[in-house]
Amino acid sequence: MKKFAFLFALMFGVMLAFAQEASDLQEVQIKTSAVCGMCKKKIEKDLSYEKGVVSADLNVETKIVTIKYNPKKTNVTKIKKAINKAGYDADELPANPKAYKKLPECCKKDNKIH
């Protein structure tokens, strides 16, 4: 019976810790220069590798990416820099020129196709 009570208390403690961590998340919306579905995939994939980013969802029509992140592990400036390194503008910060040149033609903001 003591083992059962101990296991129950341990499980409850773990669940409480995860619930606390989830409530500490913050959300930010960043305007990008994304123009197509390939841009969406690249930005979301690159942000998934960024430490502290929990989720990223880009709306291609509005060009706004909504990001949930742990502020203890990252911040908005680091997230914007990750978007820049992927080759895209992030709010007022312009894309990294080398990364921008590597983007497919359909992903370039000055492409006349879009």
Structural domain that includes position 71: 25-107
Q: What's 46's domain CATH number?
A: 3.30.70.100
Would the pTM of this model clear 0.85, i.e. be above it? no
Residue 19 lies in a domain: no
Residue 112 lies in a domain: no
Residue 62 lies in a domain: yes
Residue 1 lies in a domain: no
Residue 7 lies in a domain: no
Over residues 62-100, the pLDDT tens digits come to 999 999 999 999 999 999 999 999 999 999 999 999 999
Residue 15 lies in a domain: no
Residue 91 lies in a domain: yes
If you write DSSP's letter for every residue of 43-100 in order, what string do you get? HHHHHHTSTTEEEEEEETTTTEEEEEE-TTT--HHHHHHHHHHTT--BTTBPPPHHHH
Q: 89 or 113: which carries more pLDDT confidence?
A: 89
Q: How many domains does the chain divide into?
A: 1
Give the HSE-up count for residue 27: Cα atoms under 13 Å, Cβ half-sphere. Answer: 9
